[in-house]
A and B are shown apart, each in its own frame.
Chain A
Amino acid sequence: MKTPLEIFDVKSFLGEISEASTKFVKGAELFAGIDEIDVGTAPKELVYEEDKLKLYHYKPEGAVTCGVPVLIVYALVNRQYMLDIQPDRSMVRNLLQHGMDVYIVDWGYPTKADMYLGLDDYINGYMDNCVDHIRKSAGVEQVNLMGICQGGTFCGMYAALYPKKVKNLVTLVAPFDFSTNDGLLFAWAKHMNIDALVDAYRVVPGDFMNSGFLRLMPFTLNIRKYVDMLDVIEDREKLLNFLRMEKWIFDSPGQAGECLRQFIKDCYQGNKLVKGEMKIGDRVVNLKNITMPLLNIYASGDHLVPPAATKPLNDLVGSTDKSLYEFKGGHIGVFVGAKSQKELAPAISKWLHDRDKSKPAAKAAKAAKAKAPKAKVGKGRKQ
């Protein structure tokens, strides 16, 4: 009978150790040569800011062929540059190349001074101000809203409260029906004392949120990922890609306590959006008020926001023109996967173009530039 050690091909095993050591040394040299991990490199201009929020307008890449600008709203928990993580994996660049006029919200990093910011401030305040700014500066009555993850939920809330300001609604992996327990976050959040959390932290640290995300797949996300890194450690570009993702994952802003409190209580624990009981400020959010065209994109392998939480939106809205799009992949893959770049961004662009009945885009964009107010910001800043 063989001893346990004999289950390995010892010669091969020693060769692997030698190879890994060599990779590690070379990788260390590469690491030492990397000064900065560049993310969000698509040219953009700061056009509006309020408190810690910033609204950026991307420089068009070629002719703008869709007359209605797109406002991208990302989640509060991570940074919006995920949509432009690197030049060859950039949904923003992809949309720009497809003739879209793109704006993006940067929620910033809340501090203790922002602990009392609630959903009312985010939806009725910041989001509405951004939309108004775009409407005014672009010279349009309506904007296209494209919300991702929690940002998609925000867009749904906004569209229900201000349907006249939204031309089309695009949601990507955005949760609406929180009754499901398919995703661990959904199951765990139901047993979380959010009051205790907010009272203890005021602004809940991003590290706290990350610890929860990393626990979803502890061995894959905490061990395998770093062992697999050895496979790319010798290649500067691949290593940079890896590091960009790492930077994004751990670049997690804190969560304004009151906003998180209401989001967890009303959505994860109360499922009030679906029940039509959710109140933002003094107004009830009725998803039936969403009557504009809807493109709802979900990822079949999403472990963060399971399809069971995203798909029901199409049955809850009042829209007649609504599409459900299945992306075969995971949550992160929707934004950065190679498949996403090839498949998803063009599909979104096409869907929006199909519903664009405005004037020729280039003309509209020109008009928008001419009318763009400089209020609040003073002057645009290149980023």
Chain B
Amino acid sequence: MSGTQDYFNAWLKAQQEAFGSVGEMTRKFQQNLSGFGSTGGAMPGFGGAMPGFGGAMPGFGGTMPGFGGAMPGFGGAMPGFGGFQDAYAAWEKSVSDALRGSGAADANFIRETLLKSFSGSNAYMKLYELWLPLFKAIQQKGASPDSFKDLIDPAKFKEMIDRVFGFNPDAAAQLAEQVKTLLESCAHSSQGFMKPWMEASEKGFRTVPQMMEGHPESFMKVFHTMFGAFDSTVGRVFHAPAVGKDREKVELLLRSLDVLSVYLAKNTEFEHTMYVTGLAAFEQLIAAVADKVNKGEEFKDFGEFFNLYITVNEKAYSVLFQTEGYAKMQGALLEAALNVRTHTFKLTELYLYDLPIALRSEMDDLYKTVHELKKKVKGLEKRLVEVRA
């Protein structure tokens, strides 16, 4: 505990010294401010008494008399900002030295922490230094009424700002280029992740009209496109090194749901096409019957009507079946259905994996081995017969 006490004593002492330095600096600052305004004349609006800053500050272990007093104007030289910086540096140095010199064995941790804290404070000082030229520039300009006129003039304002910030077209272009490069870099790195989602969202939005029209497969399409985005982004986490059958099951289950959604969408599309064709055929049939009615004719027997029914429908579907579009749609439906079947088998296998039974894939391997062996044996038998002959 004594070490801790020493540390705080040292801390307080350092604080006293630091604030002493601050007080000294403030005094110098005030003096400087008194002589401020050498470039301009009197500025009555800024002058006047500034009471209330003086007075005792016991909590910091000393008095701070320096802030009271008159502040008649901003004329004179302006070393004040630099002085404040020096004050801070002096404070920091005093505290750091005191801590280093305390020799308190138990204070290492606190010291380190504080040192790091000071280092953090340095960052603020650096920031302050960064803005310092601007402050100075503003002071220099601000002291002159003409400067304010300049600020009202857009061209002058720009000129001043450019001077303050050092902006010029080239620098601005360079800065813009740097920003662009940065953004591009960020965009590129995030593109792989975001693009699939953006595309899926876009596709999803395009499907909205179909949803509104009541096409049930449109929901499946949205699910499929979103799953595609998931699969190529977040879903990749599932492709990480195997962590067991449970992970495989989850992934396969998700994938199975996806292929099922694809199948359902294709199936609806297919059924819709068949239905529309059937409807058109039925309309033709009705038209043919109506035509007969209009002519005052009648069907002699059921067979005559049945023939017409079969002929009209067969023709309608025959025309559909002969289109390449139908062949493609049928092929896509079949593939989707088979995909569901394959996934179902895989999923079943995964769930049966722990049971003492031969699985489909294992039997496939066995069949393959038997097939190859039989082929070899048959070949050898044939060769033997040839040799004997």
The answer on a CB contact under 8 Å between A7 and B293 is yes
A237 contacts the other chain (CB 8 A): no
In the complex, identify which listed stretch (A90-98, A161-169, A192-200) lies at the interface while the others stay far away.
Answer: A192-200
In the bound complex, residues from chain A placing their C-beta under 8 Å from that of B363 are 112
B126 contacts the other chain (CB 8 A): no
In the bound complex, residues from chain A placing their C-beta under 8 Å from that of B335 are 193, 196
The answer on a CB contact under 8 Å between A199 and B297 is no
The answer on a CB contact under 8 Å between A6 and B298 is yes
- 98-112 of chain A: CB within 8 A of chain B: 112
Identify the closest chain B residue to A221 (Cβ): B314
User: Considering the chains assembled together, what is the distance between the CA atoms of A196 and B331 in angstroms?
Assistant: 11
The answer on a CB contact under 8 Å between A184 and B322 is yes
Minimal beta-carbon separation of B330 from chain A (angstroms): 6
B125 contacts the other chain (CB 8 A): no
| Per-residue interface assignment for chain B, residues 31 to 48, with 1 indicating a CB less than 8 Å from any chain A CB and 0 otherwise | 000000000000000000
Minimal beta-carbon separation of A190 from chain B (angstroms): 7
Identify the closest chain A residue to B342 (Cβ): A200
**Secondary structure at chain A's binding surface: helix, strand, loop or mixed?**
helix
Given contacts A13-B301, A13-B302, A121-B375, contact A191 B331 (CB under 8 A): yes
Minimal beta-carbon separation of A266 from chain B (angstroms): 18
| Per-residue interface assignment for chain A, residues 1 to 32, with 1 indicating a CB less than 8 Å from any chain B CB and 0 otherwise | 11010111100110010000000000000000
A250 contacts the other chain (CB 8 A): no
The answer on a CB contact under 8 Å between A115 and B367 is yes
B350 contacts the other chain (CB 8 A): no
The answer on a CB contact under 8 Å between B368 and A116 is yes
- 112-133 of chain A: CB within 8 A of chain B: 112-117, 121, 125
Minimal beta-carbon separation of B267 from chain A (angstroms): 15
In the bound complex, residues from chain A placing their C-beta under 8 Å from that of B293 are 1-2, 4, 6-7
In the bound complex, residues from chain B placing their C-beta under 8 Å from that of A193 are 331, 334-335, 338
In the complex, identify which listed stretch (A79-87, A149-157, A212-220) lies at the interface while the others stay far away.
Answer: A212-220
User: Considering the chains assembled together, what is the distance between the CA atoms of A196 and B345 in angstroms?
Assistant: 13
User: Considering the chains assembled together, what is the distance between the CA atoms of A227 and B310 in angstroms?
Assistant: 11
Given contacts A7-B299, A117-B371, A218-B317, contact A200 B327 (CB under 8 A): no
The answer on a CB contact under 8 Å between B292 and A115 is no
CB < 8 Å: which of A9, A125, A215, A218 contacts B300?
A: A9
In the bound complex, residues from chain A placing their C-beta under 8 Å from that of B318 are 217
In the bound complex, residues from chain A placing their C-beta under 8 Å from that of B364 are 115, 202
CB < 8 Å: which of A7, A114, A217 contacts B314?
A: A217
User: Considering the chains assembled together, what is the distance between the CA atoms of A215 and B314 in angstroms?
Assistant: 10
B115 contacts the other chain (CB 8 A): no
Interfacial residues, chain A to chain B (CB-CB below 8 A): 1-2, 4, 6-9, 12-13, 16, 51, 112-117, 121, 125, 184, 187-188, 190-193, 196-197, 199-202, 215-220, 223-224, 227
What are the nearest 6 A-B pairs in CB distance?
A191-B331, A116-B371, A200-B338, A196-B338, A193-B335, A219-B314
Instruction: Provide a sorted-by-A list of 20 A–B residue pairs whose CB atoms are within 8 angstroms.
Output: A1-B293, A7-B298, A8-B305, A12-B301, A13-B301, A16-B302, A112-B363, A114-B367, A116-B371, A125-B378, A184-B321, A188-B327, A193-B335, A196-B339, A197-B334, A199-B342, A200-B342, A202-B364, A218-B317, A219-B313
**12 extra interchain contacts, Cβ-Cβ under 8 A, other than A112-B363, A217-B318?**
A2-B296, A4-B289, A7-B289, A7-B299, A13-B302, A115-B364, A116-B368, A116-B371, A187-B324, A191-B324, A218-B314, A224-B310
